[in-house]
Structure 1
Amino acid sequence: MKTSLRLIVASTVLAMLSGCAVDGINKTATYGGIGVLAGAATGALVGGHKNRGKGALIGALVGGAAGTGYGYYADKQEAELRNQLANSGVDIQRQGDQIKLIMPGSVTFSSNSSDVASQFYNPLNQVAASLKQYDQSSIEIVGHTDSVGARQRNLDLSMLRAQSVGNYLIAQGVNGTRINSRGAGPDQPVASNADEYGRTQNRRVEINLRPMNTTQQ
C-alpha cells in the first residue's frame, strides 16, 4: 500500500512538471508542480510515521489544486488582456506571479501633461473591465520619465501621471483600495536617455498586477 501511494504521488508530480516541457511556458503546470511538491512534503509530515504515505498523497492533491488555481487565474487574465489590448500600444509582460502592463507616455499623455489622452480611454476601459473581473490582485501603478529636465519636476510629473491612471480606473469601477500609485521619475530607465528612441521608451506608466498577499517591490 505504501509503495502504491508513493507511486501515485511521484506520478502526479511528474505529470504536473512534464506539462512545463510540453509548451515551454506552461505557467499553470509550473504552479501546480510546485504546489504538489510542497503539499506532499507537508502532508507527509502531518501524517506521521504510520500515515506518511497517505498524508503525502492528500497533501500533493491539495497543494496541486491550489497551485494550479492561481496559475490558471493569471494565465487566463493574461490571455484576455493580450486579446483585448492588441494594437493598443500597451506592452504586456509576464514575470512569474506578476502581470505587467507597460503604457508608453507618448500614447497615454500629451507632452508635459498628466491628463490621460482621450484616445487612450478605450484601452484603459478594457484594463478596468479586466481588473474588475479579476479582483484577486493588487494594483501598483508606477509613472516613469526620461532624464531630461529637473529631476524633481520629473518625479512630480511621474507621480501625477500614475495618479491620473489610478483615478481613471477608479472612476470605471475598480476598487480603489487595491491601487497604490507612485512616481519613479527618471530613476528606473529601461533604455538609454542618450537618444530620443531611448527616452521615448523611458517615458511610460506601468501597471503591475500581483497576488493580494505579495509584498510590492
Structure 2
Amino acid sequence: MKKTVLVVVATAVLVSACTTTDPYTGDQKISNTAAGVGLGALAGAGVGLLAGGNDRRNALIGAGIGALAGGAIGATMDQNEAELRRQLEGTGVSVTRTGDQIILNMPSDITFNVDQDAVKPGFYPVLNSVALVLKKFKQTTVDVFGHTDSTGSAEYNFDLSQRRALAVANYLSGQGVDSRRFAVTGFGKTRPIASNATTEGRAQNRRVEIQLSPLT
C-alpha cells in the first residue's frame, strides 16, 4: 500500500511513503526508510532515517554522537526525565518513565483540531520545549507513534495517525533536532489505552506519543 504525505523540513516536499506490516503484531506502519526520506530529504545527503534500528544507531554514532554505556545510561535518562517534567509541567502532556525509556503522551485535543493533521499553533511552545530538551541531550533515539480512537474505518484511522505522527516529528526536526534520530509509526486504532465505548475513553485513545530511548 502506498501513502502520499506532505512533509515540511524548511520547505515542502512531496514523498510517497510505503507502509509495511509488522510480522509479529499485524500492525500497519510507515516504513523507516520512507519516514527518513520525508524527515531528512532537505537536510543533506546521508541525513534522514535509515532502514532499521541498527542503521539509525550506526548513523548517529558515525556522526560523532557517542553511545551510552553502564551507569551513564540511567543517569542520562534521569536528566532527560527531570528536564522534561520541568519543561512540560501544566501543559497537558504526561511524562512516563519505564525502565530506561521515557514516553510523552500528547492528547490530540490539545495537539490537533478534529480530523486534522496540522499541529495547532497554540501547541508550538510545548513542542519547542520538547525540542530544547532533545537538543540538549543528544544521546537518545526518538520514536513518534500516532494513535486514534475506533471511530471510522481502519484505513482512515491508520492514515490520520500516521500523518499526525509525521507532523509532530517534522515540527521537532524543523526546530533543529537531528532527523536521523526519528522513527515514525502510525498505529491507527489498534492500540487503545482506554475503552472506546465512552467519550472519555475515546479522547484518551486519540494521542501522539514520543518515546525516548538511550543510544547504546
Q: TM-score, normalised by structure 2?
A: 0.67
Q: Are 1:198 and 2:201 matched, yes or no? A: yes
Q: Are 1:188 and 2:191 matched, yes or no? A: yes
Following the alignment from structure 1 to structure 2, what is the Cα–Cα distance between the partners of residues 79 and 126? 13
Stretch moving more, 193-202 or 72-81: 72-81
1:77, CA displacement in angstroms? 1.1
In the alignment, which residue of structure 2 is the partner of 1:76?
79
Contact 2:101 2:211 in 1 (8 A): yes
1:212, CA displacement in angstroms? 2.2
Q: How many residues align?
A: 149
Q: Are 1:150 and 2:153 matched, yes or no? A: yes
Partner SS state of residue 185, structure 1:
coil
1:182, CA displacement in angstroms? 1.0
1:68, CA displacement in angstroms? 2.3
1:114, CA displacement in angstroms? 0.2
1:211, CA displacement in angstroms? 1.5
Q: Are 1:127 and 2:152 matched, yes or no? A: no
Shift >3 Å, 4+ stretches: none
Partner SS state of residue 187, structure 2:
strand
1:97-136, CA deviations, whole angstroms, 9 ceiling, x for partnerless residues? Answer: 1000000001100000000001100010000010011110
Q: Are 1:105 and 2:118 matched, yes or no? A: no
1:210, CA displacement in angstroms? 0.5
Partner SS state of residue 102, structure 2:
strand
Following the alignment from structure 2 to structure 1, what is the Cα–Cα distance between the partners of residues 183 and 71? 27
What is the alpha-carbon root mean square deviation over aligned residues? 1.2
91, 94, 111: which is aligned to 2:94?
91
Q: TM-score, normalised by structure 1?
A: 0.67
In the alignment, which residue of structure 2 is the partner of 1:165?
168
Give ranges in structure 1 of 5+ residues lacking alignment: 1-64
Give ranges in structure 2 of 5+ residues lacking alignment: 1-67
Following the alignment from structure 1 to structure 2, what is the Cα–Cα distance between the partners of residues 146 and 98? 25
**Structure with greater Cα Rg:** 1
1:148, CA displacement in angstroms? 0.4
Following the alignment from structure 1 to structure 2, what is the Cα–Cα distance between the partners of residues 66 and 97? 12
- The letter of the residue matching 2:152 is G
Partner SS state of residue 75, structure 2:
helix
- The letter of the residue matching 2:145 is V
Partner SS state of residue 102, structure 1:
strand
1:76, CA displacement in angstroms? 1.1
- The letter of the residue matching 1:103 is M
Following the alignment from structure 2 to structure 1, what is the Cα–Cα distance between the partners of residues 79 and 172? 21
- The letter of the residue matching 1:211 is P
Q: Percent identity?
A: 48
1:91, CA displacement in angstroms? 0.5
Of Structure 1 and Structure 2, which has the larger fraction of its residues in strand?
A: 2
In the alignment, which residue of structure 2 is the partner of 1:211?
214
Contact 2:77 2:214 in 1 (8 A): no
In the alignment, which residue of structure 2 is the partner of 1:136?
139
1:72, CA displacement in angstroms? 1.2
